[in-house]
Amino acid sequence: MSQLRLQIFVPMLLVLTTAVAGFTSMGWAENEQQVNPELLELQLKQKPLLRKLGDRVFATEFIGYSNHGFIEGDDGIIVIDGGWFPGTTAMAITELRKYTDKPVAAIIYTHLHLDHFGGMGPIMAGQSGDIPVYGPAHWQKWVTRLLKTDRESILRRVYLQMGMLLPQGPEGTVGMA
């Protein structure tokens, strides 16, 4: 395994192990906690999709815990937030490509939470490297910090907050595509 992969894999393994240990040490009896039945029913009705909001405006709904927006310009797509995970972002791009094959012309980060820029890989695949990016002041510094320095602590919080390590369903978590 390459050094870079080890640098990413080992911290992630530690985060996941810590999160699992946290869940198992909470002392919950099996099946003691359940999802509210109304929430579960609502979740089952919400299918992941790319919604066309206007002639050239699109937004995702219910694709994991991600946010994506797309505006089709004359010469390309303006991406508004890139989602959280590459897998969910790939779903969004696949759906967008049913409407247009224009290249990415610009990227806008509405704010710098990981669920707004963490999934940019599939959006950038095959694109030129000189795409303008717009975001809050000093966005580059925050993206670097969230992807490097603070990555492990942020991912641990995310996994615990969102229940991502719980099983899918009424005795675990709902809401992830």
Which is higher by pLDDT, 83 or 57? 57
Sort 96 into a burial class: Cβ within 10 Å, 0-12 / 13-18 / 19+: buried
pLDDT tens sequence across 40-52:
787 778 888 889 9
Q: Is the pLDDT of residue 80 over 70?
A: yes
- Give the other-Cβ count within 10 Å of 145's Cβ: 14
Report the CATH fold assignment for 3-28+49-162. Answer: Metallo-beta-lactamase; Chain A (3.60.15)
Distance CA 105, CA 166 (A): 38
Residue 122: how many CB atoms within 10 A of its CB?
19
Answer whether residue 72 shows pLDDT above 90.
yes
Determine phi and psi for 126, rounding to 5 degrees: 80, 5
Interval 21-33: pLDDT, tens: 554 445 444 556 6
Q: Mean pLDDT over all residues of the chain? A: 76
Helix/strand/coil for 150: coil
Q: Which residues pair with 72 in a beta bridge?
A: 77
Three-state secondary-structure class, residue 30: coil
Mean pLDDT in residue range 62-89: 87
| Both structure tokens of 64 | 């994991």
